[in-house]
Amino acid sequence: MSLYIAESKIKGAGKGLFVNTLIKRGEKVVEYTGDIITWKECERRNNEFTDGIGAYYFYINEKKCIDAQNHLDSMARYCNDANGFTKIPGLKNNARFEIIKGRVYIIASRNLKPGDEVFVAYGREYWQALALQGFGPKGWGKK
């Protein structure tokens, strides 16, 4: 396999996804996999968390979301966002999410060389939701 999991270059982020072979710009890095559920089920599951937030949901539409929370073998769940609450000097997102025929992939937005960590933007809504739950810098995401 051309991917491996190791400690992220982002301090405090936990594990990250890395490549060990060249992946060219525009190529699929990995598919985002997990339980296929509705958004309503995502909300129900989220309410069951003791810390109040589930961090591994990917929303496609109201009837189709992916929950990778309990899928430790889902490599895509280890991708971090280099532009989360704060930008980290020297790190940039180098991939993007793309929905292709109802499936979610992480696509390289630049050439990735062996040893590179894969970074993908989660979207402002994700970070705003975390801020509303009390995570991240105080006042972040407020209009």
Residues 34, 38, 39, 45: is their CA dihedral positive or negative? negative
What integer best gives the mean pLDDT of the chain?
A: 85
So what's the pLDDT on residue 9? 92
Dist CA 97 CA 117 (whole Å): 15
Dist CA 49 CA 88 (whole Å): 29
User: How do residues 116-136 score in pLDDT, each as one tens digit?
Assistant: 999 998 876 665 666 556 555
Domain ranges of the chain: 3-132
CA distances 91 to 32, 56, 70, 75, 98, Å, are 22, 22, 28, 20, 21
User: How do residues 77-104 score in pLDDT, each as one tens digit?
Assistant: 999 989 876 678 889 999 999 999 999 9
Instruction: Name the class of domain 3-132.
Output: mainly beta
